[in-house]
């Protein structure tokens, strides 16, 4: 247990923390609307699915006509299709994840990056090559994938796709030979639209990784073109649990974030074209934000798992929770044991804080007398209070400091339970079928509110200010309401933590009965 002022501070901090997490993507200022262009300036990405504008010449070739053919591929975690057009991937689905317990439709590329087609696009910044996004090429089967090729009087373009059952990503190698004027830049872009009534809106972000840090943007936060200096390690689009990313063979080029019209944007990797040829290889990953899989693609992709400011603390907690699950086979049980383990490790700090609180509660009557006596002399009041507390061996900091040390653990655990793909559609027991969603019947938030009221009654009262005391009375309701729409896994943690705190409180109260009575304040 903890001092009520400390609990109030932690509660307000938690409210701010969750409020930022949940609402910071809401519009703050109106965003200007830009119309997607068919060609791009050197610092802009060409729009996907475009053809040459009026007045330009498109090569007349039989390859531009005819029905579209599709070709299937499969990775370690997914299956999908490529076609013989300029689009890169279509119908890409994850084999082990579905949209919800009631909707058995597999998670697909559009679930993570909402767009009708062509979430992944490759283009050049030359107006004369804009038609390549729709051109019909020749597809041939190879030993490890497909070879897509197209040739006309302006360009010879080859895309080699390779995949395997033991790899979670697709490798795409682009080889272009320019027969006339070469473009200045090549772009690999990931596109995303904002949809209505999107419950994952706050977690959908466009990402650019550069030199150990991630630039994170939401669609509506991109007003024009934003240049991210290179070299760029990768670009990506993510939802709460899933990621689409493009990783070049080595960090290079620069990143671009560009508005693409009403509620639409794209993030891209811009690579310079040198001479009359261009060659680059990319790893295209579509899958869950799971550390083992991300490490197979590129270790830096693990930064997409947003564990917050206290990630250094959160990562060991996540690893320990995974270790528990190996033996328990239930993520809900893993959360319970993890919570109890953290309570046990932090018990010495809790015990020290409780000793301080008990002393403070015992000193409170005399402290009120001192406050009344010196209410018109602030300097004398502070001097007498410090003298009295020091005489009775009480340090005001000793009550708060142990709890402040625990706050990084508290926030780190919140991020772990909020962001972990391991909890996605993982059942606990009884009515809780998905720990990543809210409790459908609000049972755990209601029980949590009752347990916190009991916990509050057992806590020594060190607050004399009636306003603060009134706020503390409503703290359990505040936490209960806060937990209504948060993941059931997080609410389960809070409930187990509150029950364990009551048990600790009973034990500590018995130990503290022998504390000596405080001295009376001197005249």
Tens-digit pLDDT profile for residues 64-78: 567 888 999 999 999
Q: How confident is the model at residue 56 (pLDDT cuts 50, 70, 90)?
A: very low
For the chain, the helix, strand and coil percentages under 3-state DSSP, each to the nearest 5: 40, 25, 35
**Least confident stretch, 173-187, 227-241, 273-287, 370-384:** 370-384
Q: Is the pLDDT of residue 5 over 50?
A: no
SS (H, E, C) 5-35: HHHHHHHHHHHHHHHHHHHCCCCCCCCCCCC
Could you tell me which residue, 346 or 96, shows the higher pLDDT?
Answer: 96
Domains of the chain: 33-298 (2.70.98.90), 316-359+399-514 (no CATH)
Contact of 94 with 286, CB cutoff 8 Å:
yes
pLDDT at 485 over 50: yes
Q: Locate tokens 């830009």: which residue?
A: 34
Q: Point out which residues pair with 267 in neighbouring strands.
A: 190, 257
Dihedral pair phi/psi, residue 6, rounded to 5°: -65, -45
**Range scoring the smallest mean pLDDT among 49-53, 347-351, 419-423:** 49-53
- State the pTM of this model: 0.78
pLDDT digits (tens, 9 = 90+) for 82-108: 988 877 888 899 999 988 888 889 998
pLDDT value at 242 more than 50: yes
Residues 6+ apart with CB under 8 A from 335: 321, 417, 435, 489, 492, 493, 496
Name the region of 199 (left: φ>0; alpha: ψ -120 to 50; beta: rest).
Answer: alpha
- Identify the bridge partners of residue 226 per DSSP, sorted by sequence position: 257
The reply to whether omega before 231 is within 30° of 0 (cis) is: yes
> Quick one: residue 308, left, alpha or beta (phi over 0 = left, psi -120 to 50 = alpha)?
left
The chain-wide mean pLDDT, for the chain, equals: 80
Largest CA distance in the chain: 104
């Amino acid at each position: 247990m903890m001092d009520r002022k400390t609990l109030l501070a932690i509660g307000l901090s938690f409210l701010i923390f969750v409020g930022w997490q949940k609402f910071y993507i809401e519009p703050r200022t109106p965003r200007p609307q830009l119309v997607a262009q068919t060609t791009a300036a050197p610092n802009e990405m060409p729009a996907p699915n475009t053809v040459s504008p009026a007045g330009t010449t498109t090569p007349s070739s039989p390859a531009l006509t005819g029905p579209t053919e599709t070709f299937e591929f499969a990775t370690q975690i997914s299956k999908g299709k490529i076609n013989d057009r300029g689009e890169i991937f279509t119908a890409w689905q994850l084999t082990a994840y579905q949209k919800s317990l009631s909707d058995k439709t597999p998670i697909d590329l559009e679930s993570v990056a909402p767009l009708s087609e062509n979430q992944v696009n490759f283009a050049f910044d030359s107006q004369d090559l804009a038609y390549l996004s729709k051109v019909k090429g020749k597809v041939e089967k190879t030993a490890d994938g497909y070879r897509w090729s197209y040739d006309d009087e302006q360009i010879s373009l080859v895309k080699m796709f390779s995949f395997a059952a033991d790899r979670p990503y697709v490798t795409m190698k682009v080889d272009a030979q320019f027969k006339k004027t070469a473009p200045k830049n090549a772009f690999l872009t990931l596109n995303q639209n904002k949809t209505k009534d999107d419950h994952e809106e706050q977690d959908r972000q466009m990402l650019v990784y550069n030199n150990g840090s991630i630039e994170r943007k939401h669609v509506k936060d991109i007003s024009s073109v934003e240049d991210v200096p290179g070299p760029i390690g990768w670009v990506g689009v993510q939802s709460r649990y899933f990621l689409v990313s493009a990783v070049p063979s080595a960090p290079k080029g620069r990143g671009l974030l560009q508005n693409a019209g009403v509620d639409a944007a794209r993030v891209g990797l811009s690579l310079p074209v040198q001479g009359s040829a261009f060659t680059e290889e990319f790893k295209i990953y579509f899958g869950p934000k799971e550390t083992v899989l991300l490490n197979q693609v590129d270790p830096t992709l693990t930064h997409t798992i947003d564990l917050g400011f206290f990630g250094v603390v959160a990562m060991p907690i996540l690893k320990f929770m995974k270790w528990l699950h190996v033996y328990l086979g239930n993520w809900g049980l893993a959360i319970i044991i993890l919570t109890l383990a953290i309570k046990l490790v932090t018990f010495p700090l809790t015990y020290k804080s409780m000793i301080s609180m008990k002393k403070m509660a015992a000193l409170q009557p005399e402290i009120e007398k001192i406050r009344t006596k010196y209410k018109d002399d602030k300097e004398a009041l502070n001097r007498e209070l410090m003298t009295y507390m020091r005489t009775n061996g009480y340090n005001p900091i000793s009550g708060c400091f142990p709890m402040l040390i625990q706050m990084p653990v508290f926030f780190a655990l919140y991020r772990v339970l909020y962001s972990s793909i391991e909890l996605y559609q993982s059942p606990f027991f009884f009515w809780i079928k998905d720990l990543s969603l809210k409790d459908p019947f609000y049972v755990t938030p209601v029980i949590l509110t009752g347990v916190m009221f009991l916990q509050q009654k057992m806590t020594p009262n060190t607050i004399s200010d009636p306003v603060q005391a009134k706020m503390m009375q409503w703290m359990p309701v505040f936490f209960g309401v806060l937990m209504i729409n948060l993941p059931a896994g997080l609410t389960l943690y809070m409930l187990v933590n509150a029950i364990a705190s009551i048990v600790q409180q009973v034990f500590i109260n018995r130990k503290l009965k022998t504390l000596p009575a405080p001295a009376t304040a001197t005249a």
